[in-house]
Amino acid sequence: MEEDFDRGFGPFAEFVGELAKSPARLKHPLVTKIPKIGADSAKAVAHISRQLNLGVSTVVFVDVESADEVKQGLAAIRFKANGGTRPDTVGSAPAYWGITEAQYREKADLWPLNPAGELVNWTIVESKEGLARIREIAAVKGIGALFPGAGTLRRVFTTVDQDGARVFEEAGWEGAIQQVLSACKEFNVPCGYPATEKDIELRMKQGFSVFIINWGDAGFRAVDIGRQAAGR
């Protein structure tokens, strides 16, 4: 849904419908991305509300480049009764969560703005424009975790030389990652990273605390290494 919301939403809704039939659904919180918010807050509200109404509990903002984008997105996660812009409908979310509509409305608010809220935002910065405003982005209250988009930033810091060869500016790329981490620490926001088995221990030592891990054997090895590093 990050690139083409309408094309991705249908299959995702079908998947959630099948998952909802299983008692195991409550063991699997749903995390989804939306397209870049940009200046179109109305479209962001529509995208986010449709996802939340299926039972999604974490919404990821991609390619964020300003504090205003984050504020618009966070408002879209919160019901109007809680000061947000989310429409009053709840869809099938209460059924997916296994609670009544009244209970859902109580829980479906944004953490950490509401300490009892059970909806979360992850914000990803993955451009030089976003990096230039990283401190004002990190200062926005309500972000659950702030990520450097390491994969996309790798492309940002890759150029082509006069011979047509690709040149990766590793120092600049790592500097961008550390710039996001520094802002997270300054504003006391959990910092996330797309870790692998090769770097999860290093990133944990640096201060990253929320991780996206690839699926498959390599991903599970990364999880095991992370658990050992955390003393679990």
Closest CA to 15 of 30, 35, 34, 33: 30
What residues form DSSP beta bridges with 124? Answer: 147
Question: Which domains does the chain show, CATH number per domain?
Answer: 5-190 (3.20.20.60)
What is the arithmetic mean of pLDDT over 165-173?
95
Closest CA to 125 of 62, 173, 183, 182: 62
Q: Is the per-residue pLDDT at 203 higher than 80?
A: yes
Residue 40: per-residue pLDDT: 81
pTM of the model: 0.94
Q: How far is 218 from 100, CA to CA, in rounded Å? A: 39
Q: Could you tell me if 63 and 107 are in contact, meaning their C-beta atoms sit under 8 angstroms apart?
A: no
All residues at 6 or more sequence positions from 111 whose CB lies less than 8 Å from its CB, including other chains: 117, 118, 119, 120, 144
All residues at 6 or more sequence positions from 212 whose CB lies less than 8 Å from its CB, including other chains: 147, 192, 193, 194, 195
Residue 112: per-residue pLDDT: 97
The continuous run of DSSP H or E covering 166 comes out as: strand 166-168
All residues at 6 or more sequence positions from 63 whose CB lies less than 8 Å from its CB, including other chains: 36, 124, 125, 126, 127, 130, 149, 152
Q: For residue 41, what pLDDT band results from cuts at 50, 70 and 90?
A: confident
Q: For residue 58, what pLDDT band results from cuts at 50, 70 and 90?
A: very high
Q: How far is 132 from 46, CA to CA, in rounded Å? A: 29
What is the arithmetic mean of pLDDT over 6-34?
89
Q: Is the per-residue pLDDT at 26 higher than 90?
A: no
pLDDT tens digits, 66-112: 999 999 999 999 999 999 999 999 999 999 999 999 999 999 999 99
